[in-house]
Amino acid sequence: MDEAALNDLDAELRAIRLDDGPRLQPLRLDKMFLRARQWHAANPRSYASEPIYRPPSPPKFPPIYPLPQPLSTSTKGKQKSLDDGEIGGGIEISPLSSLFEYPELIPLVLDNFDQPRDLAIISRVNTEWNRIARRKLYHHVWIRPWEDGCHNKLVLLFDTLHRHPELCKLVKRLDVRFFPLAARGEERSVLDDQVQKAITEMSNLESLVWTRDRSLNPGIVEQIADLSHLRSLEISGHSYRYYDPALLGIMPSLEDLRIMMPDPNLKSKLVEVNKSLSERPNGGLRGLGIICQSSSLIDDAILKTIARYLNKLKRLTLWGCTRVTKDGVFEILYEAAREVEELSLDALPHSGLMDLSRSPSLPKLHTLSLSITIPHREASNSTLSSEDLPILPIYPSLKALHLTLSGSNLFLPLSVYKTFQSQLSSEDKNKLEKLSLINLVISSETLEFILESNPNLKELYISVNGKLTILDSLDKLKEYSNNLEILHINAPEKWGPNSDDLRYIAENLKNLQQIGSGNRVYEIHRKLSDNLDQDGNPKEETHLCRWSKSWIPGYFQVWRA
C-alpha cells in the first residue's frame, strides 16, 4: 500500500462515527496509525521486492495474577509453581494462596487494622476474611456528635441493622452519644422502630452508652432491660416522660451503671433500682457513676440509703453532686472497702473530701481521681500551698493518680508537690504508672522530680506556662523517662509547644508512643531513613501523625473542666 492510499484510508477511518450507543472505550485509531507512519518512516524499502513486515505491537504489560484464593482440599499439595506455567485443578492460583494454608494467621493480620473503612475493604477478600473482618467491624459501633455526618451515619446504621438481624448479633459494644432530635412525625417514628428492632436482636450486647437527652422512649428501654448479656450501661438520667427508671433494676447481668444528669423522677427510683439489683443471685453493682453538671439533687441521705446494696462495689464516680460530702461517700466505702478499685470524686471545699486520711482502708484501690476547687483568692496570689492539696492515706495498690484543679490555673511549687507526694510511701510511689496534673502548673524542676521519683511512670499529663519548661530540661528528661509512653503538655496557646516542638521532644524521648498539647493528640511513628549517620547506619526518622485510632485517647479520659 503506497503513501497516498494509506492517507486515504486514514481519512476514511477518521470519518467513522458510532451513533448506535455510548462509546464505552475510545478506539484510539490515531495512535495506531501514528505508530504505523513512524515505523514506515524509519524503515523505507521497496514493498514490491521485499516481504511485507507488520508494524510492531505495543509492549505487553506485566501479567496480573488473580487475588489469593484458598487451595481446595483436592488440589492442596498438587499445585506446582506458577513459574513453571502449570495450572492446578483447572484454576490459576496466585502464589500468595499458600498463606491460606495457615488460617490461624488471619486473625493476627486483622488485629493490625482498626479503622472501619479498612475493615470494610478487607472483608471483600474472601469468605473467611469477610467473616472475621465483619465480626471485628461490628464488635464496637459508635455514633459521636463531633464526627462528620453523624446524622446520616446513625440513620444508615440502624437501617442496616434492622434489615440484617445477623449483624445485630455481632454487636457487643454500642455507643450512641448523638441522636437526631430534630426528626419529627413519621421520620422519628420509623427511626424509633428501627432502633427498637435492632436492639431486640442484639443478644450478645455487653456494653451500651446512650446519653443523648430526650432520645429514649419506653419501648427502647424495655428492650434494653431484656438483654441477657448487658453488663455495662451508661444512660441519660432525664427519664420523666421518656422511660421508667425501675426497668434498670430488672437487668439480669448489669454490673456497671453510669447515670448522666439524673432528674427527680430517676432519683425517686434509685434506691429501688439498687435494692432489686442486689437481690439477684450474682449480687449488686460493681460500678456506679452519677455525673451532674452542678446539681444538689443527689445528697448524703440517698448515698447512705443505697450503701447497704453496694457491698460488691469496685468503681465509684460522683461528679457535680454539690450536696455530697465525705459522710455519704465514706458510708459507701465502708460497705465495699475491701473491693473498691477505682474512686473518682469532686472534692469541693465544703465536702470534707479534701481530707481522705480517715477514709476506710482501700487495699485494692489502683486509680484515684480528685477534682479540687480552690476558694476565691486575689489575682496576685496565684501559687498553691500545701493546704490547697488533698490529704491522702497510704494506698498500697495505687497505680494511677489524677488531680484536676477546677476553674483556674495556679502554680504548683516543687516544695509543695514534694510534700504532697511524700504522703505515699517510697514503695508505693515506685508503682505509680499514670499521673495527671491538670491546671496545676509545674516548672522544669518539678517535672524532673516527678520522673526521677516515679521510674515506672508510663503516662504523664501536665500543665506548664510554656514550652521552655520541657525544652530547657530535655537532657535530664531523656535520662529519667525510660518507661514513659504517653506525654501530654497543656500550656497557653501563645506560649505552648507547636507540632515542631512536639516532634523534637519525641525525637529525644525514644520510648514515647503518643504526645499531645491541648486538644491535639499525635501518634509517634519511627522508621529508618535512607540517610546514613557517621557510622554508616541508617538514621531514624520521627513522624507525628494526628490521632487515627477509633478509641478515645487517654487525655480525654482523665481531663475534667
Please tell me the number of Cα atoms within 13 Å of 521 on its side-chain side.
Answer: 15
CA 434 to chain centre: 18
pLDDT at 64: 46
Cell numbers linked to 488: 501530654
CA distance 105 to 126: 15
CA distance 324 to 348: 9
Cα distances (Å, whole numbers) of residue 392 to 335, 358, 403, 417 = 20, 9, 12, 13
Contact 467, 494 (CB under 8 A): no
Strands (E), 261-336: 287-299, 315-323
CA distance 488 to 354: 26
Cα distances (Å, whole numbers) of residue 227 to 23, 115, 205, 424, 552 = 56, 28, 7, 44, 26
The model's pTM is 0.78
* Residue stretches of the chain with pLDDT short of 50: 17-25, 46-53, 55, 60, 64-92, 561
- SS3 helix, strand, coil % of the chain, rounded to 5? 35, 20, 45
Cell numbers linked to 304: 447512705
Residues in contact with 8: Cβ distance below 8 Å, sequence separation at least 6, in sequence order:
none
The dihedrals phi and psi of 551, each to the nearest 5 degrees, come to -90, 165
CA distance 110 to 201: 26
Cell numbers linked to 286: 460493681
Cα distances (Å, whole numbers) of residue 367 to 260, 325, 403 = 21, 20, 11
CA distance 259 to 266: 9
